[in-house]
Chains A and B, each alone.
Chain A
Amino acid sequence: MAKAKYAFFLGCIAPLRYPGIEKSTRDVCSALGIDLVDFNDASCCPAPGVIRSFDRKTWIAAAARNLALAEKAGVDILTICNGCYGSLFDAAHELHEDAELLKEVNTILAEIGLEYKGGTTVRHFAEVIYNDVGLDKVKKAIKNPLDLKVATFYGCHFLKPSDIKKLDDPENPSMLDKMVEATGATSMYRKDKMMCCGAGGGLRSEFSDYAMKFTEENLKNMKDGGAEVIVDICPFCHLQFDRGQKELKGYSMPVLHLSQLYALAMGMDKKELGLDAHLTPVKL
Chain B
Amino acid sequence: MTATPNMDFVNDIIANGGESVNMCYQCGTCTASCPSGRQTSFRTRRLVRMAQLGMKDETINSDELWFCTTCYSCTERCPRDVAIVDIIVAMRNLAVASGKMFEGHKKTAQSLIKNGHTVPINDEVKAQRKALGLAEVPPTVLANKDAKKDFDKIMKATGFKKIIGE
Contact = CB atoms under 8 A, between A and B. Distances in A.
29 contacts: A15-B134, A16-B117, A19-B125, A23-B132, A23-B134, A42-B141, A43-B151, A51-B108, A51-B112, A53-B89, A53-B105, A55-B158, A55-B163, A56-B17, A112-B153, A170-B72, A171-B76, A196-B35, A196-B69, A196-B73, A200-B69, A201-B68, A203-B36, A206-B102, A206-B105, A207-B40, A213-B40, A214-B35, A217-B38
Given A48-B70, A56-B16, A202 B108 contact: yes
Nearest to B120: A16
Interface string A180-214: 00000000000000111011111101110011011
A61 B134 contact: no
Interface stretch (B21-29, B52-60, B142-150): B142-150
Interface residues of B, number: 67
Nearest to B164: A54
A155 to B, nearest CB: 9
Given A22-B138, A49-B69, A54 B93 contact: yes
Interface of B: 16-17, 35-36, 38-40, 63, 66-73, 75-76, 85, 88-90, 92-93, 96-97, 101-105, 107-109, 112, 116-122, 125, 128-129, 132-134, 138-141, 143-144, 146-148, 150-151, 153-155, 157-158, 160, 163-164
Contacts of B138: 10, 15-16, 22
A157 B117 CA distance: 19
A118 interface: no
A114 to B, nearest CB: 8
Contacts of B71: 156, 160, 196, 200-201
A40 B107 CA distance: 25
B89 A52 contact: yes
Contacts, number: 213
A282 interface: no
Contacts of A53: 66, 70, 88-89, 92-93, 96, 105
Contact of A17 (B36, B40, B101, B125): B125
B109 A160 contact: no
A262 B141 CA distance: 29
A60 to B, nearest CB: 9
Interface residues of A, number: 66
A161 B71 CA distance: 9
Given A54-B101, A108-B158, A111-B153, A214 B39 contact: yes
A243 interface: no
A141 interface: no
A206 B106 CA distance: 10
A40 to B, nearest CB: 4
A204 to B, nearest CB: 8
B80 to A, nearest CB: 14
Given A52-B89, A202-B66, A43 B72 contact: no
A206 B95 CA distance: 15
The listed residue with most A CB atoms (<10 A of its CB), out of B72, B101, B125, is B72
Interface stretch (A224-232, A246-254, A272-280): A272-280
A58 interface: yes
Given A22-B134, A54-B164, A205-B107, A15 B68 contact: no
A187 B140 CA distance: 35
B17 A108 contact: no
Contacts of A157: 70, 72
B122 to A, nearest CB: 8
A41 B67 contact: no
Given A40-B144, A55-B163, A207 B132 contact: no
A39 B17 CA distance: 30
Given A16-B138, A53-B93, A55-B93, A62 B119 contact: no
